[in-house]
């Protein structure tokens, strides 16, 4: 029996946020619009609104990530929710407790929302399909599959600096193959009407048939960056140097690292983004990361507002 996408409920509302794929552009814009209001909140004297007072939000991290967990925690606290952090890691799994056991136990503690990070693609879908109907699930990254809030904050950043999407040329550079961020960015960009999305990587880091996702693959960074408005850099995990994917970090930087010279090939007003944490000198040169075209720090600020928006919309559906 075909399993359906569980994130949209029968009334067409967002029940869970598991992936960007399949969400209509209007829904993405609604999230970005709400986020805009929350950016205002984070600039005030009291950086907090009472919207989710009394709600229990569980940060369920099966894979360690201080950074993402913290931004979700800040977002939840600014909405006045109670946040419970659980770094499950390998410990409870090694005790023989299954993923769903863990989730069932936590549901019994009257959770209202789960923020899930897991090393396996599809983990958030699995949890969403087994929780009680009043519980909402936000995918904070599952394997190589999706990282929808990261993509949404990237879209927010692009909209903030470029105003709209329909005249843009966007390049995603780096390890597309293993990147949940890239997959979510691709769905978000194509849904929002970006006419040209490029992915730039050596063939070992591009998944098979990536063009079916509506992007143009490039293997030469210089060609791929020509005339680009937005550069989305991806993090290159150190372990990619094993398993014959790449010969060395040095060679990768030489051919795929973003240097000022390479950036000069893009449009003069192009912006540079990165989901962090950065590997300076591997995928990006420090002078670019800290340079005038970098919007990496605003991304972090917007990230909190976008997560507040997602939580509020889910909690209210």
Partner 1 sequence: MELPQTRDLLEKLAEAIRAEISGPVFMVGIHTGGAWLARALHDMLHLNTPLGTLDISFYRDDFERIGLHPEVKPSDIPFDVDAADILLVDDVLYTGRTVRAAINELFDYGRPSRIRLAVLVDRGGRELPIEAGFKGIRIDPGENRMIDLLKNEKGELQLRLRPE
Partner 2 sequence: MKIHIRKGRVVDPEARFDGITDLYIAAGKVVSLGEKPDDFQANQEIDASGLIVCPGLVDLSARLREPGFEYRATLESEMEAATAGGITSLACPPDTDPPLDEPGLVEMLKYRAKSLNQAHVFPVGALTQGLQGKNITEMAELRDAGCVAFSQAEMPIEDTLVLLRAMQYAATFDLPVWLRAQDASLSRIGVAHDGEVATRLGLPGIPTCAETIALAKILRLARETGARLHVCRISSSEGVDLVRKAKEQGLPLTCDVSMNHIHLSEMDIGFFDSNCHLVPPLRSLRDKEALRMGLKDGVIDAVCSDHTPVDDDAKLLPFAEAEAGATGVELLLPLVLKWAEETNIPLPIALSKITSRPSGILGIGCGHLSPGAAADICIFDPGCCWKVEPKSLKSQGKNTPFTGLELKGKVKYTLIGGHVVYKANHP
Distance CA 152, CA 157 (A): 9
The helix (run of H) or strand (run of E) holding residue 152 is helix 148-162
In the complex, minimum distance from the CB of residue 241 to partner 2, in angstroms, rounded to a whole number: 17
* 37 sits near partner 1 (criterion: CB under 8 A): yes
In the bound state with partner 1, the residue whose beta carbon lies nearer, of 69 and 136, is 136
Structure tokens belonging to residue 39:
């950016």
Distance CA 89, CA 119 (A): 10
* 142 sits near partner 2 (criterion: CB under 8 A): yes
* 13 sits near partner 1 (criterion: CB under 8 A): yes
List the beta bridge partners of residue 59.
Answer: 85, 115
In the bound state with partner 1, the residue whose beta carbon lies nearer, of 200 and 311, is 311
What does the angle CA 104 – CA 108 – CA 112 come to, to the nearest 5 degrees? 95
Distance CA 63, CA 208 (A): 26
- Scanning 201-292, the segments in alpha helix (DSSP H) are 221-224, 249-256, 260-263, 286-289
List the beta bridge partners of residue 284.
Answer: 258, 280
Binding partner of residue 249 among partner 1, partner 2, none, CB cut-off 5 to 8 Å per kind:
none
Distance CA 57, CA 74 (A): 12
Binding partner of residue 143 among partner 2, partner 1, none, CB cut-off 5 to 8 Å per kind:
partner 2
In the complex, minimum distance from the CB of residue 11 to partner 2, in angstroms, rounded to a whole number: 20
Q: Which stretch binds partner 1 (CB under 8 A): 31-39, 150-158, 258-266, 282-290?
A: 31-39
In the complex, minimum distance from the CB of residue 114 to partner 2, in angstroms, rounded to a whole number: 15
Question: What are the C-alpha distances in Å from 100 to residues 90, 95, 97?
Answer: 14, 14, 8
Q: Are 174 and 256 in contact (CB under 8 A)?
A: yes
* 5 sits near partner 2 (criterion: CB under 8 A): yes
Contacting partner 2 (CB under 8 A), which of 117, 118, 136, 235? 118
* 132 sits near partner 1 (criterion: CB under 8 A): no
Residues in the chain: 317
Q: Are 308 and 41 in contact (CB under 8 A)?
A: yes
Compute CA 151 distance to the chain's CA centroid, rounded to the nearest angstrom.
4
Distance CA 148, CA 156 (A): 12
Q: Which stretch binds partner 2 (CB under 8 A): 23-31, 33-41, 83-91, 138-146?
A: 138-146
In the complex, minimum distance from the CB of residue 38 to partner 1, in angstroms, rounded to a whole number: 8
* 46 sits near partner 1 (criterion: CB under 8 A): yes
* 207 sits near partner 2 (criterion: CB under 8 A): yes
* 30 sits near partner 1 (criterion: CB under 8 A): yes
Q: Which stretch binds partner 2 (CB under 8 A): 1-9, 105-113, 250-258, 292-300?
A: 1-9
Name the site residues for partner 2 (rule: CB under 8 A).
Answer: 1-6, 21, 98-100, 118, 120-123, 125-126, 130, 142-146, 180, 183, 207-210, 212-213
Q: Which residues bind partner 1 (CB under 8 A)?
A: 13, 30, 33-34, 36-37, 39-41, 44-46, 48-51, 312-313, 315-317
């Amino acid at each position: 029996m075909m399993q359906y996408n569980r994130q949209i409920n029968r009334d067409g509302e967002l029940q869970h946020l598991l992936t960007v794929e399949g969400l209509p552009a209007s829904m993405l814009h609604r999230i970005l619009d709400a986020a805009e209001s929350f950016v205002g909140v984070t600039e005030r004297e009291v950086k907090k609104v009472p919207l989710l007072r009394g709600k229990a939000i569980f940060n369920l991290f099966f894979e360690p990530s201080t950074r993402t967990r913290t931004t979700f925690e800040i977002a939840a606290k600014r909405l006045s929710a109670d946040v419970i952090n659980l770094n499950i890691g390998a410990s409870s799994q090694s005790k023989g407790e299954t993923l769903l056991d863990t989730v069932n136990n936590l549901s019994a503690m009257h959770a209202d929302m789960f923020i899930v990070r897991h090393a396996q693609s599809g983990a958030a879908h699995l949890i969403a399909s087994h929780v009680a109907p009043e519980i909402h699930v936000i995918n904070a990254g599952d394997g190589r599959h999706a990282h929808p809030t990261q993509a949404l904050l990237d879209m927010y950043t692009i909209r903030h600096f470029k105003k709209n999407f329909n005249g843009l040329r966007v390049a995603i550079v780096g390890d597309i193959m293993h990147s949940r961020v890239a997959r979510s960015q691709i769905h978000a960009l194509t849904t929002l009407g970006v006419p040209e999305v490029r992915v730039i990587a050596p063939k070992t880091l591009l998944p098979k048939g990536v063009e079916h996702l509506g992007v143009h693959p490039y293997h030469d960074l210089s060609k791929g960056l020509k005339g680009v408005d937005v550069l989305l850099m991806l993090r290159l995990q150190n372990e990619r140097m094993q398993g014959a994917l790449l010969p060395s970090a040095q060679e990768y930087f030489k051919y795929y690292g973003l240097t000022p010279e390479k950036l000069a090939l893009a449009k003069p007003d192009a912006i540079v983004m990165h989901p962090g944490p950065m590997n300076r000198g591997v995928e990006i040169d420090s002078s670019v990361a800290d340079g005038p075209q970098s919007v990496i720090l605003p991304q972090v600020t917007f990230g909190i507002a976008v997560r507040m928006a997602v939580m509020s919309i889910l909690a209210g559906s």
